């Protein structure tokens, strides 16, 4: 049986964009620094009370429209997020209920920024084994809840009151993280290509928990009694801890390695690949990976300027834009690549 290909896509970004200049109201940073070091110009944030499953609804509905399918034609949901609506249950079942398809199996996978290569491999396995036919893969994130400021009114320019210096300092202490992430959702609908010349080719995936602390959240884990305590907030353990430089080096080393290894295994030359669909963590990471692979930068698309790092959302959001503006076409060879908290990293090949 032929592997999966993508038959529909959608994206949803909440609220109005928040510029780098707006961030400088709640922390010490500048538009110039953020643009130069990351390529990011703006990002979106979910509203208070708006969760990953809510953001996913908008993206999923647009993906269904583009695939010309009704929600009840989906027979599996793979929900990718590192910022679920609740500690449990996962957000996949909530999304199914919101789409009006209760009873459809929904799997939450926790590969953070590396979700898409894993999700594509899982979806392909489900389809090829006959367990599912039409799968909705969603990457959705509401990072707003872990942002290190509380002055959302000042951030949005709705108030010009002074920010408490202690709050401003907290923002500045966590600025490496805070300037990177934005919220949003992307959705892909996949099905067997029905054609032996097209579809999922293969993936090479890796996980290494020894490096989990390069980016992780210390607070709120079930190894503690209780799993949340006021002291955790005092110690700022609800805010992810990120070794930015270390993570950067890991990404620019492991991503070219895994792309070379996967393409070699499948006898694919890098020059045959139409698009390298890379996770959008920091534009400088993708520039370094492009240089290390020696590929044409025009084949490594970027949209991080507008959305920042939407973790599991970046790849489906980028693909939706490329489908809609005509860059992605049937028959093209795609190489997906991503690295994220876990650490998990990997690459996948698909003939669209
Ligand atoms: O999806 C996976 C998740 N995360 C990643 O992949 C993150 C990978 N790492 C990165 O993207 C980068 O390491 C960061 C964007 C987080 C940081 O950039 P960097 O070029 O590694 O900066 P740095 O942490 O080495 O800091 C350089 C300087 C420091 O000042 P001094 O010590 O040289 O005087 C920082 O204090 O830049 C300063 N700095 C800032 N200045 C203004 C750090 N963050 C900021 C900021 N605004 N937001």
> Where in the chain do CATH 3.40.47.10 domains reside?
4-192, 199-351
Q: For residue 288, give the H/E element and its range.
A: helix 283-293
In angstroms, rounded to a whole number, what is the distance separating the alpha carbons of residues 277 and 286?
Answer: 10
- How far, in Å, is the centroid of ligand 1 from the Cα of 129? 44
Q: What is the CA radius of gyration of the chain?
A: 20
pLDDT tens-place string over residues 180-237: 999 999 999 999 999 999 999 999 999 999 999 999 999 999 999 999 999 999 999 9
Average pLDDT, the chain: 97
In the predicted model, is pLDDT for residue 1 greater than 60?
A: no
Amino acid 2: pLDDT: 78
Q: What are the pocket residues of ligand 1 if the criterion is a CB atom closer than 6 Å to any ligand atom?
A: 29, 33-34, 37-38, 113, 175-176, 179-180, 215, 244-245, 247-248, 251, 281-282, 309, 340
Which architecture, in CATH terms, is 199-351? 3-Layer(aba) Sandwich (3.40)
Active site residues: 113, 279, 309
How many angstroms does the Cα of residue 40 sit away from the middle of ligand 1? 13
> Which residues fall within 8 angstroms of residue 136, CB to CB, at 6 or more apart?
60, 63, 64, 74, 76, 77, 78, 187, 188, 189
H-run or E-run covering 134: strand 134-141
Ligand 1 pocket, mutate which of 244, 253, 279, 285 (most atoms under 8 A from CB): 244
For ligand 1, atom 8, the nearest C-alpha belongs to: 248
E runs forming strands in 142-216: 184-192, 199-207, 215-216
- The alpha carbon of 267 and the centre of ligand 1 are apart by a number of angstroms equal to 38
Is residue 268 scored above 60 in pLDDT? yes
Digit-coded pLDDT (tens) for 98-143: 999 999 999 999 999 999 999 999 999 999 999 999 999 999 999 9
H or E segment at 304? helix 304-307
**Threshold 0.75, pTM exceeds:** yes
Nearest-atom index, ligand 1, CA of 175: 48
CATH topology for the 4-192 domain: Peroxisomal Thiolase; Chain A, domain 1 (3.40.47)
Instruction: Report the C-alpha dihedral over residues 302, 304, 306, 311, rounded to 10 degrees.
Output: 130
Contacts of 149 (CB under 8 A, 6+ apart): 26, 27, 155, 163, 167, 170, 171, 178
Pocket of ligand 1, candidates 176, 286, 315, 342: which has the most ligand atoms within 8 Å of its Cβ, to mutate?
176
């Amino acid at each position: 049986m032929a592997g999966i290909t993508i038959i529909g896509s959608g994206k949803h970004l909440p609220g109005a964009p928040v510029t780098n200049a707006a961030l400088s109201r709640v922390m010490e940073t500048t538009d110039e620094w953020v643009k130069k070091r990351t390529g990011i110009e703006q990002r979106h944030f979910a509203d208070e009370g708006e969760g990953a499953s809510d953001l996913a609804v908008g993206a999923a509905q647009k993906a269904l429209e583009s695939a010309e399918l009704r929600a009840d034609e989906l027979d599996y949901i793979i929900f990718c997020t590192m910022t679920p609506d609740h500690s449990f249950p996962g957000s996949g079942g909530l999304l199914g209920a919101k789409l009006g398809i209760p009873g459809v199996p929904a799997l939450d996978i926790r590969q953070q920024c590396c979700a898409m290569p894993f999700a594509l491999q899982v979806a392909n396995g489900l389809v090829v084994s006959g367990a599912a036919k039409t799968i909705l893969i969603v990457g959705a994130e509401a990072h707003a809840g872990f942002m290190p400021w509380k002055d959302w009114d000042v951030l949005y320019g709705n108030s010009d009151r002074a920010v408490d210096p202690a709050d401003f300092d907290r923002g500045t202490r966590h600025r490496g993280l805070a300037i990177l992430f934005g919220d949003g959702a992307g959705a892909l609908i996949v099905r067997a290509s029905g054609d032996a010349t097209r579809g999922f080719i293969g993936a090479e995936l890796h996980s290494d928990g020894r490096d989990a602390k390069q980016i992780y959240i210390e607070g709120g884990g079930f190894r503690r009694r209780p799993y949340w305590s006021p002291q955790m907030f005092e110690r700022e353990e609800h805010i992810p801890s990120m070794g930015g430089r270390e993570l950067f080096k890991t990404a620019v080393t492991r991503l070219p390695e895994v792309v070379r290894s996967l393409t070699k295994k499948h006898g694919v030359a890098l020059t045959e690949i139409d698009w390298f669909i890379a996770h959008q963590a920091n534009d400088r990471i993708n520039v370094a990976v492009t240089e290390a692979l020696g590929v044409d930068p025009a084949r490594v698309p970027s949209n991080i300027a507008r959305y920042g790092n939407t973790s599991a959302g970046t790849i489906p959001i980028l693909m939706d834009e490329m489908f809609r503006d005509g860059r992605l076409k049937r028959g093209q060879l795609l190489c997906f690549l991503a690295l994220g908290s876990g650490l998990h990293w990997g690459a996948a090949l698909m003939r669209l």
